[in-house]
Amino acid sequence: MSPVHRHSIDRLIHLSASLPHVLEVNVQTRLYVIAHADYPSARYGLDLPVDVDDVVWGRTRLRQAQAGDYQRIEGADRFIFGHTPLKKVCAYANQIYLDTGAVYGGSLSMVRLR
């Protein structure tokens, strides 16, 4: 790898490390919270501490919901997660799981925020 490419890669890695793990999006009067895999708490707050490993890798809430055990996460209208490839977009309480395995040849799923 050339030094120029290596420098570009290092710069992008450094930039990605500074990005937030949880995003808030306000659309009209609705608050959406977006995280890679989960928001590991029963109550959301932008400044509340959460385990970053659970935000990035967590599947416990989804697995419980698939088994019929699900509750709302308080503090926002909707939560949007990915990370776990599913056959179709699934919604439990106020959570939407939209990873339908595009990286593995499945379909690409999106949610329109309104």
Q: How far apart are CA 9 and CA 18, in angstroms?
A: 15
20-104: CATH superfamily: Metallo-dependent phosphatases (3.60.21.10)
pLDDT band at 110 (very low <50, low <70, confident <90, very high): very high
pLDDT band at 75 (very low <50, low <70, confident <90, very high): very high
Q: What is the DSSP letter of 72?
A: P
pLDDT band at 5 (very low <50, low <70, confident <90, very high): confident
Determine the pLDDT at residue 46: 87
For 56, the enclosing helix (H) or strand (E) is: helix 52-57
Q: What is the DSSP letter of 88?
A: S
Determine the pLDDT at residue 99: 97
Q: Is 36 left (phi over 0), alpha (psi -120 to 50) or beta?
A: alpha
pTM for this prediction: 0.87
pLDDT band at 1 (very low <50, low <70, confident <90, very high): confident
Domain boundaries, the chain: 20-104
pLDDT band at 102 (very low <50, low <70, confident <90, very high): very high
